[in-house]
Amino acid sequence: MKKDNYVQSVIRALEIIEILNERKEMGITEIASSLDLDKSTVHRLINTLRHKGYVKQNILNQKYSNTFKLFEMGTLEVDRTGLIRRVNPFLEYLAQQTRETVNLALLEGKFTIYVDKRESSEVIRADLGVGRRYPAYTTSLGKAILAYLPEEKVIELFREEKFVSFTPNTIGSLDELLAQLKLIRRRGYAYDNEELITGLACVASAIRNYDGNPLAAISIAFPRYRYQKGSPEEERIISLVLDITRKLSVEFGFIS
């Protein structure tokens, strides 16, 4: 699309929201410096975003941060599909059966977006909060969904990707990602063996709809030390995830 089809002020406002999301809280001068904008421009945009409820000001230090408005809008959009409502009982069941953290996530472009969770009842537990997003190649949830997209779509998404190493185990190339996706399709589940966070393991499987497309994925995450890779306890977790996502897929019309 031609640049003259873009509204520059909208782009700048969105860049402010994005950098506040990244940095959590910033002042006018910090925002202006980071985005190479005039302070007066930033001030006008911030005031507009405050007026519309997207940004708030800390009265103690006068800095700005995002409100929950975008999160609320995103949550409502997910809920319109009925996904969260229908998945809720299954998340509860998995949490009760495993006492580990259970996550529900969607794919948004190249990113995994966590939209619901049940926290582990254990003192030491995996904690990836709702609303967080991570590169899809770093998470079992993301890989579980990517595995059921057309391969050409995955190549399109990640052809220019600079694969960041979050840990020594993170996928490092498109070829490696494609190889993992083939394995996921064959066995039905995705694995994160300390690929996003050192010490954190995760097993996920996709929920598919009537035409086989992935709607979302469910994972069980646990500290790596708790279960050895390939142990009976871990195999039970894998079986539970597969069983639940198969049942949910049937509810959404998928026929294997």
Using CA atoms, how far apart are residues 8 and 105, in angstroms rounded to an integer? 32
| 128 pLDDT above the threshold of 70 | no
Tell me which architecture the domain covering 3-67 has in CATH: Orthogonal Bundle (1.10)
Query: Among residues 95, 176, 98, 81, which one has the least CA distance to residue 138?
Result: 176
Residue with the bigger pLDDT between 125 and 122: it is: 122
pLDDT band at residue 70, thresholds of 50, 70 and 90? confident
pLDDT score at 1? 47
Topology of domain 72-251, CATH? Beta-Lactamase (3.30.450)
Q: pLDDT averaged over the chain?
A: 87
Residue with the bigger pLDDT between 80 and 110: it is: 110
Residue with the bigger pLDDT between 59 and 236: it is: 236
| 109 pLDDT above the threshold of 70 | yes
Using CA atoms, how far apart are residues 222 and 102, in angstroms rounded to an integer? 9
What are the extents of the domains in the chain?
3-67, 72-251
pLDDT band at residue 5, thresholds of 50, 70 and 90? confident
